C-alpha cells in the first residue's frame, strides 16, 4: 500500500494532467503507470522526473533496450520491487529475449560476487587502470 493516494487523471489538476498527457502521448498508452500517479502528489517532482527521464531514456548513443537492461541492473542492486517489475516488463516489451534476460541476470549476479571479493580484500587498483586520467588517452587495461 503506497504512502500516498494514487492520483487518477479524472481527479488531477490541470498541471498534473499536462504531464499525464505528455506521458500518454509519448508512450502511446491509454493511462499512465502507478509510479506517475504517486508522483502526482507533488506536481513539481512529477514534472521534473518526467522531463529528466524523457531526456535520459530518449534516443542517443546507447540503444533503448540496453538502457532498459541497465535500469534493471541498478534496480536489482537497489532492490526496488516496483522498478524491477516495471523495467523487466518494459525490456521484454522492447524485444529482450529469454536468453538475453538470462545472461543479463548472470552478469549482474557475477558482478555482485566479484564486487564483494574486491571490497573484502581491499584490492589495490592497478596503475594501468588509472593511466591517462580520462577518456582521451586511457590505457587498454581489461577489468578484473
Query: Using CB under 8 A, which residues numbered 37 to 96 contact a second copy?
Result: 38-39, 41-42, 44-45, 48-49, 52-53, 55-57, 60-62, 66-93
10 part of the interface to a second copy, by CB under 8 A? no
Task: Considering only residues 106 through 135, tell me which ones interact with a second copy, judged by CB under 8 A.
Answer: 106-126, 128-130, 133-135
Question: How far is it, in rounded angstroms, from Cα 121 to Cα 104?
Answer: 26
- From 38, 59, 60, 46, select the one nearest 18 (Cα to Cα): 46
CB atoms within 10 A of CB 33: 14
Q: Which of 6, 9, 22, 24 binds a second copy (CB under 8 A)?
A: 6
Q: Which is nearer to a second copy, 14 or 134 (CB)?
A: 134
- Classified as helix, coil or strand, 65 is helix
User: What is the C-alpha to C-alpha distance for residues 99 and 102, in angstroms, rounded to an integer?
Assistant: 5
Shortest reach from residue 97's CB to a second copy, in Å: 6
Total binding residues toward a second copy, as defined by CB under 8 A: 100
The smaller minimum CB distance to a second copy, of residues 18 and 141, is found at 141
Smallest gap, in angstroms, from Cβ of residue 84 to a second copy?
7
Which residues lie closer than 8 Å to 131 by C-beta, 6 or more apart? 138, 139, 141
Amino acid at each position: 500500500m503506497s504512502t500516498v493516494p494514487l492520483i487518477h487523471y479524472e481527479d488531477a489538476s490541470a498541471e498534473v494532467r499536462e504531464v499525464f498527457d505528455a506521458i500518454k502521448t509519448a508512450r502511446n498508452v491509454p493511462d499512465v503507470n502507478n509510479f506517475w500517479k504517486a508522483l502526482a502528489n507533488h506536481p513539481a517532482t512529477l514534472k521534473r522526473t518526467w522531463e529528466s527521464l524523457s531526456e535520459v531514456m530518449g534516443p542517443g548513443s546507447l540503444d533503448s533496450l540496453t538502457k532498459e537492461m541497465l535500469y534493471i541492473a541498478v534496480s536489482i542492486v537497489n532492490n526496488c520491487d516496483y522498478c524491477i517489475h516495471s523495467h523487466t516488463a518494459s525490456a521484454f516489451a522492447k524485444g529482450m529475449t529469454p536468453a538475453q534476460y538470462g545472461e543479463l541476470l548472470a552478469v549482474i549476479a557475477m558482478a555482485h560476487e566479484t564486487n564483494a571479493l574486491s571490497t573484502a580484500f581491499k584490492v589495490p587498483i592497478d596503475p594501468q587502470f588509472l593511466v591517462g586520467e580520462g577518456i582521451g588517452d586511457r590505457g587498454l587495461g581489461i577489468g578484473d
